[in-house]
Amino acid sequence: MLEMRDMSKIFRTEQVETHALRSFDLHVREGEFVTVTGPSGSGKTTFLNIAGLLDTFSTGAYVLDGQDVSDLDDYARSKLRNRKIGFIFQGFNLLPDLNLFDNLDVPLCYRRLKRAERHQRINDALARVGLASRMKHYPSQLSGGQQQRAAIARALAGHPRLLLADEPTGNLDSQMALEVMDLLQDINRAGSTIVMVTHDPNLASRAQRNVHIVDGRVAEDPADGTIRPRPVEGTA
Amino acid sequence: MQIRFVLAALRKHRLATFLIALQISLACAVLCNACFLIVQQVHAMRIDSGVDEARLGTVKLSGFDPKSANDFNARVVDALRHVDGVQSVSVISGVPFGEPGVRAGIGLDPDYKQFGGVIDFYLGDDHAAHDFGLHLISGRMPSPDDYMPVTKFVPSNAPVLITRTLAEHLWPGQNPLGKQFWGLDTQFRVIGVLDHLSVSQPGGSEAKDPDWSVFVPAIAGPNLAGKYLIRAQPNDMPRVMREAREAALKAAPDAVLDTDQSHSLSRLRHSYFESARVMVKLLAGVVVALLGTTALGIVGLASFWVTQRRKQIGTRRALGATRGDILRYFQIENFIIVSFGILLGMLLAYGLSLELMRSYEVPRLPFGYMPIGAAALWILGQLAVLVPALRASAITPVEAIRTL
Ligand SMILES: Nc1ncnc2c1ncn2[C@@H]1O[C@H](COP(=O)(O)OP(=O)(O)OP(=O)(O)O)[C@@H](O)[C@H]1O
Ligand SMILES: [Mg+2]
């Protein structure tokens, strides 16, 4: 589903060159639930942004869903993002001026889907996250947990091949975090591939596979696919 | 596709939307009316006087004894004829763009039961009709017997040349030749129809139409003296006029030369429309300033919204919006706001036009100006929003998402 080989990402500013990723190798198979952990600044977000075609990389190769995406232009990457990838952000990133229904509708419209299909998908997705009764609500009228569920519904409505989440529970209390995690696991069981960055070792340990990144490199990865629980150092 | 979302978002920003739309509507209203006034002024300035302006000049003298008018006229005309380059000299009562001459209300019957309007009478001696270069379209020019002495203001029972416009006004759809009208305690009979002959003060308040004039053949004398028409080659005019003024004063040393009126007709026309030209420039300045501030307002608000919506734009990009989608979003938004402004502006323009009609006797704004004003503002809006919209479309998803 997602294959990165010998990838590097260098940020250049006037004074410094930051090697956010170096010799980065990762292979995520279809249907996996992979969590990504690592110290702050280790390159987790950088990896996820590249995986989601939000950012480009400096060297290496990236094959997404069987397609080499290394040399795509901005337009092609936008279209691919729209069709294949669902994002869940730490800050929810719902559009504040639109109600929930319209928030879910926006990416579907970019895809030029027919009205009836859009409505079907939106209703299904909102029902799946338990927000069917709130579709006329605006983001500011919802709790943090509800907003994140709405954001998940927005990703689901696109029927993405790959769901990417960057600390989706980072802004939630532990109760709501667990709800969101349960929801993601449900979604994964239904067949979606998920890659989730998290700081929370408890959540990380619930995934089939936890990839640990240090200094822009994969430090630990039970790459054979067996579930190998591992004490996680760092913040809890 | 995006229109729905744009509308939904604008509903959440009603005040800013309303304020900018209001500014646009004001611009629209003023633009329509100002353009109309400009076009009207320009049109008025382009008036065809019906005379050979480029070849004509006039000299006006006053302060002579009316009893010696015949001798005075003879002396001055003779002196003017001897100015080098002068082709012909005639005695007249006034010229287009000169000071008001003989002007009066006329009736279609002796009792003025049927009022015909206020018109200008140009009196001229037996050279004048030819010198003016009047263009006859039907009937005949005055014959030698038609020239008669002026009793008070005009000759009694005079034959006249009438303009086509005035004839059409007095006797719509009828042949004006032989028709009569009354005025200045006498009656007139139409012998010929002129293409044009503008009143002396076109656009001035009395005559309803700038072409409501008649030419009356007359014999110079106590009541037709002091004003002379000079005909010369166009490129010779400035020199001829200079020498003519000197020659007239030399021939009549005790008379007073009217330095305001004694000029070529081209020059009289130029000064006559001086204020109209100033007004056109002023209006054009207002239009430009208004469009400029409106454009700046649009750029300002759009730039503000782009900055404010950085994160949103990044989110949209992450959700699959292409750069074109973002660009179009702002263009559609601008189109909607401007359209809303134009809608308001139409009502405002109409209201302003009614007010102008009431206060300044200008005609009602023709509806044709509305689509022109609307198109101008749509184009202006799209141009103004282009730079902020391009800036928005250049926002990369990563940098926008990072800013929480
Ligand atoms: N746009 C950028 N310009 C310069 N350096 C950057 C940029 N983005 C990230 N970096 C650097 O790249 C490195 C990796 O950053 P990244 O955001 O991927 O870390 P992270 O693992 O997500 O950290 P955290 O857990 O704090 O979110 C950091 O050193 C960071 O300073
Ligand atoms: Mg991060």
* pLDDT score, position A43: 94
B156 and B207 in a single domain? The answer is yes
**Phi/psi of residue B347, nearest 5 degrees:** -60, -45
User: How many Cα atoms are found within 13 Å in the side-chain-facing hemisphere of A213?
Assistant: 28
Residue A229 has pLDDT above 50, yes or no: no
Q: What is the DSSP letter of B366?
A: P
**DSSP state at residue B146:** G
Q: Is B93 among the domain residues?
A: yes
Give me the residue label for tokens 């000759």. Answer: B155
* C-beta separation of A79 from B327 below 8 A: no
Q: pLDDT value at position B400?
A: 72
Helices (H), ranges, B309-322: 310-318
Residue B270: inside a domain, yes or no? no
Residues of chain A with C-beta less than 8 angstroms from the C-beta of B322:
74-75, 78-79, 110
CB-based contacts of A140, cutoff 8 Å, min separation 6: A96
Q: Give helix A115-128 / helix A144-157 axis angle, nearest 10°.
A: 140
Q: Name residue B29's amino acid.
A: A
**Residue ranges of B 13-72 with Cβ closer than 8 A to chain A:** 13
Of the three residues B264, B298, B331, the one that is the final residue of a domain is B264
Residues B21 and B67 in one domain: no
Task: Give the three-class secondary structure for B30.
Answer: helix
Question: Domain ends where: B209, B238, B264?
Answer: B264
Per DSSP, the three-state class of A34 is: strand
Residues B107 and B211 placed together within one structural domain of the fold: yes
Residue B333 belongs to what H/E stretch?
helix B323-360
**Burial label, A22 (beta-carbon count in 10 A; 0-12, 13-18, 19+):** middle
Interval A84-134: pLDDT, tens: 999 999 999 999 999 999 999 999 999 999 999 999 999 999 999 999 999
The owner of tokens 């009736």 is B107
pLDDT at A228: 41
B63 and B140 belong to one structural domain: yes
Q: Is A224 a residue whose pLDDT tops 60?
A: no
Q: Are residues B242 and B310 in the same domain?
A: no
Q: What is the mean pLDDT of residues A208-236?
A: 69
For residue A54, the distance in angstroms to the closest alpha carbon of chain B comes to 6
For the stretch B360-392, pLDDT in tens is 777 888 888 888 889 999 999 999 999 999 999
Which residues in chain A have Cβ-Cβ distances shorter than 8 Å to B13?
97
Tell me if A42 CB under 6 Å of ligand 1: yes
**What gap in Å lies between CA B254 and CA B149, rounded to an integer?**
25
Q: Residues B201, B280: one domain?
A: no
Nearest CA to B200 out of B118, B129, B89 is that of B118
- Does the pLDDT of residue B21 top 80, yes or no? yes
Which helix H or strand E contains B214, and what residues bound it?
strand B213-219
The pairing of strands A193-197 and A67-68 is unpaired
Q: Are residues B218 and B287 in the same domain?
A: no
Instruction: Indicate yes or no: CB of A102 within 8 angstroms of CB of B397.
Output: no
- Interface residue of B308, B313, B319 to substitute, partner A, most A CBs within 10 Å: B319
At A234, the pLDDT band (50, 70, 90 cuts) reads very low
- The residues near A220 (Cβ < 8 Å, ≥ 6 apart) are A210, A211, A212, A230
Burial class (CB in 10 A: 0-12, 13-18, 19+), A104: buried
- For residue B382, the model assigns a pLDDT of 96
For residue A40 and ligand 1, the question of a CB distance below 6 A is answered with: yes
Host domain of residue B394: 2-45+275-402
Q: Is B310 on the interface with A (CB under 8 A)?
A: no
Task: Reply yes or no on whether the pLDDT at A232 is more than 60.
Answer: no
pLDDT beyond 90 at B354: no
Whether B23 and B158 map to the same domain: the answer is no
Domains of chain A: 2-90+161-227 (3.40.50.300)
- Confidence band, pLDDT 50/70/90 cuts, at residue B403: low
Identity of the amino acid at A25 = D
pLDDT band for position A227 (cuts 50, 70, 90): very low
Size of chain B in residues: 404
Q: Which helix (H) or strand (E) holds A226?
A: none
Which of B210, B229, B264 is at the close of a domain? B264
A54–B13 CB contact, under 8 Å: no
> Do B61 and B188 reside in the same domain of the chain?
yes
- The predicted model scores a pTM of 0.82
* Cβ–ligand 1 contact at A38 (below 6 Å): yes
Would you say residue B269 lies in a domain? Answer: no
Half-sphere exposure at residue A97, Cβ-oriented, CA atoms within 13 angstroms: 20
Residues B222 and B300 both lie in one domain: no
Rounded Cα distance, B208 and B170, in Å: 13
DSSP B231-253: EE-GGGHHHHHHHHHHHHHHHST
Q: What is the mean pLDDT of chain B?
A: 91
| Chain A CB within 8 Å of residue B316 CB | yes
Lowest mean pLDDT among B112-121, B199-208, B235-244, B324-333: B199-208
CB-closest option in A52, A97, A107 to B12: A97
pLDDT at A236: 36
For residues B81-92, b (16+ Cβ closer than 10 Å) or e, as one string? Answer: eebebbebbbbb
Average pLDDT over residues B10-17: 92
B330, B386 Cβ separation under 8 angstroms: no
Interchain contact, B320 vs A78, CB within 8 Å: yes
- Give the pLDDT confidence of B33-59 residue by residue, as tens digits: 899 989 988 988 999 999 999 999 999
The dihedral sign for the CA sequence A142, A143, A146, A150: positive
Instruction: Determine what percent of chain B is predicted with pLDDT higher than 90.
Output: 74
Contact B257, B249 (CB under 8 A): yes
Distance CA(B15)–CA(A223), nearest Å, equals: 56
Q: Are residues B236 and B280 in the same domain?
A: no
Question: CA-based Rg of chain A, rounded to a whole angstrom?
Answer: 18
Distance CA B228, CA B217 (A): 15
Tokens representing residue B168 in the block: 């059409």
Predicted local confidence at residue B203, as pLDDT: 81
Tell me, yes or no, whether B141 lies in a domain: yes
- Total domains in chain B come to 2
Question: Are B397 and B303 within one domain?
Answer: yes
In short, whether A13's Cβ falls inside 6 Å of ligand 1 is yes
**What pLDDT score was predicted for residue B360?**
78
How far apart, in whole angstroms, are the C-alpha atoms of residue B133 and residue B112?
32
B51: helix, coil or strand?
A: coil
- Biggest distance spanned by C-alpha atoms of chain A: 53
Q: pLDDT per residue over B230-249, tens digit each?
A: 999 999 999 999 999 999 99
Q: What is the structure's pLDDT at A207?
A: 87
* 3-state SS class at A73: coil
CA distance A47 to A53: 10
Q: Between chains, do A93 and B401 touch, taking CB under 8 Å as contact?
A: yes
